[in-house]
Amino acid sequence: MGPWPRGLRARLLVAFVLVTVLGAAAAAWSGAGSASTALVASAEQRLTEGLTGRIDAVTPQLPHPPDRDALDRLRAAAGPDTLVTYRNLRSADGDGTGLVTGELRTAVRTRHELVTQRITADGRPWLLIGTPVVITAPDGARTPSGIEVYSVHDLTGVERQIGGLAAAAAGTAALALPPAVLLALLASRSVLRPVRRLRDTAQRLADGDLGARLPPRGADELAELTATVNGMAESLQTSMTAMRRMQADARRFAADVSHELRTPLSTLTAVVEVLATAADGMPADARESAELAITETHRLVRLVEDLMEVSRFDAGTARLRLEETELTGAVRDCLRARGWLDRVDVEAPEEIRLRLDRRRLDVIMANLAGNALRHGGPPVRIRLSASREQVRAEVTDGGPGLPEQVVPQVFDRFYKADAVRTRTPGSGLGLAIALENARLHGGDLTAGNADGAGARFVLRLPRDGAVGVNGADGEDG
């Protein structure tokens, strides 16, 4: 970012001060310029009138054509630094007469009237005045006499006065700065107060207080913005209330259905177990149908069990049964119970002991290892490690890995990466339940890909005892 201040208050203050200072400076500059022009014009008028008056007082006594004495008398009457000429005659007094320019003399001779010129010589301003002497006949006719008078005047005093005016104008502009800052502070406070209230209301909405509102005041743009924010909050609150009600209804429906299905499914499970024992003696077609019924029944039982587990997490009734556990042995027992011990490599450099819910650990590791065997490829490895703060279990496989777009959704409920394989084993709830179990222990479960290839899931559990969001050592609902 550049040096421009970021805060709205600072930007408003700087803009207000800049506008005030620039306005005061422009007014002072304009005033000083007008005053200096008036001073110069006044000085020029005073000097020309004085010179012409003195010349007019002497001219009637001069002979014509004039001699040298007449020119000297006219020069003496005109004042110091004066040059009087008539054809080849010349009468001068003072060093300043050397400043008379040829341009001025040409203008006087050709125009036959008083001419002024301002020049700067040796760093000082000068006013040059040139005028012809005119003879007035008894009938009033005026004819040039051929006599020319040039007078040189130093304007240093006038320039000093102009400098004083400019300094006074700059001082006036500087005096306007403190009141400008004070006014800017007062203005920014009144403008930003409703903005701060609107910000606080928006922050309350962001923090989950959907009932936060700000009464609009006045009829300006901020009042319109406040009304718009209130309308947005009202709409959001209505939508969130409806969504939460639908979510609660859906969870209650799933929990009720799962609970109601437990009894008939228990009966159905007993029936299919009997059917399984008799399947070997059935005809081929009947045996195939019986095996399909057995498989689908087991799948339905697993789905209901998973739904009931999810319902317990949603209701906040899931509890941990903590016990001292040796992690490596627990993981091997999980694999051994499912016949995967020879298909999964377990790497554990040391004995790792911690307090956790062994049944929930079994659910997590069974989901991770089962997914690696079904959807990944060999070799499937489980690496266990521990630090002072946490225990880490990393499950990797040699398959193609997780597509990039799948990783953010892999823990979503009922999500399957391949939508075509809707009949694959599993309910689509396994990883979601594994994540909930990890969080119940106060840990976490993440998904990604290994450096080479294949998927990688990492389970992290706290070393100093499991304390999850729903507490521990309680009873499952």
pLDDT > 70? residue 476: no
3-class SS of residue 191: helix
Predicted TM-score of the model (pTM): 0.51
Q: How high is the pLDDT of residue 6?
A: 63
DSSP 320-332: --EEEEEHHHHHH
**Greater pLDDT, 124 or 16:** 124
pLDDT band for position 159 (50/70/90)? confident
Q: What is the pLDDT of residues 242-265, one digit of tens each?
A: 988 888 887 787 778 777 877 888
213, 231 in Cβ contact below 8 A? no
Rounded to an integer, what distance in angstroms lies between the CA atom of residue 375 and that of residue 366? 14
Q: How high is the pLDDT of residue 34?
A: 84
pLDDT band for position 362 (50/70/90)? very high
Helix %, strand %, coil % of the chain (to 5): 55, 20, 25
The neighbouring-strand residues paired with 132 are 148
pLDDT > 50? residue 468: no
Angle, helix 430-440 to helix 358-375, in steps of 10 degrees: 150
Instruction: For residue 62, count other CB atoms closer than 10 A to its CB.
Output: 21
Q: How high is the pLDDT of residue 97?
A: 83
217, 194 in Cβ contact below 8 A? yes
Mean pLDDT for all residues in the chain: 83
The neighbouring-strand residues paired with 93 are 82
Rounded to an integer, what distance in angstroms lies between the CA atom of residue 143 and that of residue 134? 6
Q: How many CA atoms lie within 13 A of 46 on its CB side?
A: 9
79, 58 in Cβ contact below 8 A? no
180, 20 in Cβ contact below 8 A? yes
Secondary structure element (H or E) that encloses residue 119, with its range: strand 115-121
Rounded to an integer, what distance in angstroms lies between the CA atom of residue 365 and that of residue 357? 12
Q: How high is the pLDDT of residue 328?
A: 92
**Distance between first and last Cα of the chain:** 56
138 secondary structure, DSSP code: T
Across the range 188-196, mean pLDDT stands at: 80
> Which range in 55-59, 219-223, 446-450 is most confidently predicted, on average pLDDT?
446-450
Percent of the residues in the chain that have a pLDDT greater than 70, as a whole number: 93
> Which range in 217-231, 328-342, 441-455 is most confidently predicted, on average pLDDT?
328-342
From the number of C-beta atoms within 10 Å of its C-beta (0-12, 13-18, 19+), residue 292 rates as exposed
Rounded to an integer, what distance in angstroms lies between the CA atom of residue 41 and that of residue 46? 9
pLDDT > 80? residue 415: no
From the number of C-beta atoms within 10 Å of its C-beta (0-12, 13-18, 19+), residue 468 rates as buried
Percent of the residues in the chain that have a pLDDT greater than 90, as a whole number: 22
Across the range 310-320, mean pLDDT stands at: 83
Q: Pairing relation of β-strands 380-386 and 344-347?
A: parallel
3-class SS of residue 445: strand
Q: What is the pLDDT of residues 172-182, one digit of tens each?
A: 777 877 887 78
Q: How high is the pLDDT of residue 250?
A: 78
180, 17 in Cβ contact below 8 A? yes
Rounded to an integer, what distance in angstroms lies between the CA atom of residue 117 and that of residue 456? 94
> Which range in 115-124, 329-338, 413-422 is most confidently predicted, on average pLDDT?
329-338
pLDDT band for position 169 (50/70/90)? confident
